[in-house]
Chains A and B, each alone.
Chain A
Amino acid sequence: MSQENILEVKNLVMHFGGIKALNDVTFDIKRGSVSALIGPNGAGKTTVFNCLTGFYKATGGSIMLHAGGKSTSVVKVLGQKFSAADFTSPVRLIERIKYKMFGGSHLVNRAGLARTFQNIRLFKEMSVVENLLVAQHMLANRSMVSGILNTASFKKAEEEALQRAFYWLEVVHLTEFSNRLAGELSYGQQRRLEIARAMCTNPEIICLDEPAAGLNPSETEALASMIRVLRDNHNTTVLLIEHDMGMVMNISDYIVVLDHGEVIAKGGPDDIKTNPKVIAAYLGAEEGEEVSL
């Protein structure tokens, strides 16, 4: 795919009743980049992620994902309300009904976007390997008959899934914990497992919501190098939300700063570091006042 941007967000608006969580958010993410979405608490970062991944239906705007050789409109696959124009074109009507009945956030993942959660969401009472096997559901041999008869092709598919699972366990340094329950792992290990699980769906872009929260400095260091591995060795675009400025400035190629649901700045780390609006938003200072980040 030659398209330069993997993700294009235009005029994204998200309202919860009277709360305007996002007003007119626009940004593009370049293929193969590590980008960061930063901003003070409550700025709307997680809300952006939830819109991107289809957990919230955006109130307005468009989100285009260019992955897997095609372009997907995230808003559309969630199922939209019928409009008058649908009834003039049967093709559009059928498509609309299809997405209304079978659409949802899972289609966003199938289109090539994976995510992790700010409050870790693992399958706590399943083993670490099983967490990774569930993530490969769409790649697995799901035929009931061959599974029940345990045919050779089923065994082969399961073995491949296990190989992939152990590959990712190796990448996130969890091989020795493969047969532990996910809920028994330490916080840092759980965060890494969640990343491995998201990667098992073979995404082209992965969105990490505060991956370094609760990690100690050496774990954060390891995480940063892991994120580079994801980009360099697996051609995965990374978009992350992070409060650890050291890490953000260190690994990001591109940074989008959000405050009160609006993009106040975007650009490379050096631009952002010196941007007075950003400094003001973070430190609550008046614009123009001298503060260093």
Chain B
Amino acid sequence: MSQQTKGINIVSALKDTVIAGLLSLIIFGPVVGVLLDGYDFTFQGADVAFIVSIVMAGRFAISIFSQTEFGEAFLYRQATKDDGVVVTAPGYKSRMRFIIPIMIVVGLLVPFIASKYVLTVVILGLIYVLLGLGLNIVVGLAGLLDLGFVGFYAIGAYGLALGYENLGLGFWSMLPLAAIMAAVAGAILGFPVLRMHGDYLAIVTLGFGEIIRLVLTNWTSFTHGPNGISAPLPTLFGLEFKRRSREGTPFHEFFGLPYDSAYKYIFIYLILLLVVLAVLYIKHRLTRMPIGRAWEALREDEIACRSLGLNHVLVKLSAFMLGASTGGLAGVFFATYQGFVNPSSFTFFESALILAIVVLGGMGSTIGVVIAAFVLTVLPEMLREFADYRVLMFGILMVVMMVWKPRGLVRVTRTGFATRKGSAK
């Protein structure tokens, strides 16, 4: 950095602006400017000019800002910030611990204070928390890039719907069964592939997710294809949550209450909350167990793991299966919450969304994943007016995160151990 040109260099800022303008012209010109009209098209020059001028103004502002003293200091801080893993002191207790009971109490109160609409949004958020936690085991802890996680989600959802239709199995029997089915699917998929290196796994899982979706779409005799299939609601000791029940009394009649469709959401919400809390606890324990440490070690260095007697295929497989079964659980909740499933819920975009939750939350961080899951699912619901710009906002959020916190929202901490005397046995 030379001393005398400390001032603002307008020319270089203008150069940046023109380049950005040309690039945005290339991108937005055909996308926004050309409006198809039958076999014809009209050219919408004004829209393109508007968008391009916004981009140019933004680029100019950024160029100028990064040349000011404040901007330079900001960039320097971004470039040199230490955002790595830290080890806590032995016996360290987080000051934020009191948050946990508060969150549980708030969680239990939500269905009784929130409106039905808010409740359904929160349920969706929790389903994504479950998905995020499942994928976090696979991607965050074990370091296996899984691009077809939605496949396991679909197995859970269709497991409930098809199990009910063909075998008469209800929510409660399908909940564990779906988890097992997804885990078995994970094992069958994983065993041959997990011997290979990372990139192959990403491609194979990507294919797996698409295959599941295509099977669901095209095997119409079994899955009813794109028309979808209805899924049952959970029951409370045999009491149903419908207005009228074919066998037995429904829930509201049993308790002498007027019918209200909110009851079923409250019930689903409470079960889901319990399952999420259980999964959170299990995940917390796993990172302090030999298997969880083995996953992380495998992410760090597979060859070293093998030299220490760890069977890398089986260790990876256990992470893959556990993640898959969590995805299966989420699928069951999704199906029962919607009352209906069809293949369009299980596209690649869904897999990408779950992966974004894990990456935004911070690889391997549990709290980060919970926050990210809510941000990425609840926020779009709240901002319905901007629904068209959802993917755009998504992209902006990703870029901002990459600059601001490249390792995710919450930085990963490792538990320290108190020094012991040490003895060899």
Contacts and interface: CB of A to CB of B under 8 A. Distances in A.
Contact of A167 (B289, B313, B424): B424
A55 B90 CA distance: 37
A251 interface: no
10 contacts: A102-B311, A102-B314, A106-B310, A125-B85, A133-B290, A142-B291, A163-B424, A166-B422, A175-B422, A178-B416
Given A105-B307, A135-B308, A142-B290, A179 B85 contact: no
Secondary structure of the A side of the interface? helix
A153 to B, nearest CB: 13
Interface of A: 53, 55, 102, 104-107, 109-110, 114-115, 117, 121-127, 129-131, 133-138, 140-142, 144, 147-148, 150, 160, 162-170, 175, 178-181, 197-198, 201, 234
Contacts of A178: 416-417, 419
B417 A55 contact: no
Contacts of B15: none
A140 B290 contact: yes
B309 A137 contact: yes
A114 B305 CA distance: 11
Contact of B417 (A104, A129, A147): A129
Given A134-B293, A142-B290, A179-B87, A164 B424 contact: yes
Which of B85, B281, B288, B424 has most A Cβ within 10 Å?
A: B424
Interface string B54-94: 00000000000000000000000000000011010110000
A124 B300 CA distance: 7
Given A126-B414, A130-B293, A163 B420 contact: yes
A232 to B, nearest CB: 14
A262 B296 CA distance: 39
Given A162-B417, A167-B422, A179 B309 contact: no
Interface in B291-307: 291, 293-294, 296-297, 300-301, 303-307
A123 B297 contact: yes
Nearest to B303: A121
Given A122-B304, A123-B296, A110 B309 contact: yes
Given A134-B305, A181-B84, 8 more contacts: A122-B301, A125-B85, A134-B310, A147-B285, A147-B291, A164-B422, A167-B423, A179-B416
A127 B414 contact: yes
A201 B87 contact: no
B89 A148 contact: no
A123 B301 contact: yes
B282 interface: yes
Nearest to A199: B424
Nearest to A102: B311
Interface string B267-293: 000000000000001100110111101
A57 B312 CA distance: 17
B421 interface: yes
A105 B306 contact: yes
A175 B419 contact: yes
A21 to B, nearest CB: 18
A92 B402 CA distance: 55
Contacts of B297: 123, 126, 130-131, 134
Contacts of A170: 422
A201 B314 CA distance: 19
B425 interface: yes
Interface residues of B, number: 41
A148 B296 CA distance: 17
7 nearest A-B pairs in the assembled complex, by CB-CB distance: A166-B422, A167-B422, A109-B309, A147-B289, A179-B416, A123-B300, A121-B304
Given A126-B300, A134-B297, A179-B89, A164 B282 contact: no
A126 B288 CA distance: 12
Interface in B308-331: 308-314
A94 B289 CA distance: 33
Which of B293, B313, B416 has most A Cβ within 10 Å?
A: B293
Given A123-B297, A126-B296, A134-B294, A180 B309 contact: no
B417 A121 contact: no
A134 B307 CA distance: 11
Nearest to B304: A121
B416 A127 contact: yes
B140 to A, nearest CB: 12
Given A127-B416, A147-B291, A137 B308 contact: yes
Contacts of A105: 306-307
A167 B416 CA distance: 17
A133 B293 contact: yes
A115 to B, nearest CB: 5
A127 to B, nearest CB: 5
A201 B424 CA distance: 12
B308 A197 contact: yes
A179 B304 contact: no
B423 A164 contact: yes
A169 B417 CA distance: 13
Given A165-B422, A169-B422, A175-B419, A201 B308 contact: yes
Given A121-B301, A134-B297, A179-B90, A160 B290 contact: no
Contact of B303 (A55, A114, A135, A197): A55
Contacts of B422: 163-170, 175
A140 B297 CA distance: 15
A88 to B, nearest CB: 28
B304 to A, nearest CB: 4
A198 B304 CA distance: 10
A78 to B, nearest CB: 11
Contacts of B290: 133-134, 136-137, 140-142, 147
A46 to B, nearest CB: 13
A157 B96 CA distance: 30
B414 A109 contact: no
Contacts of B421: 163, 166
Contacts of A127: 87, 414, 416-417
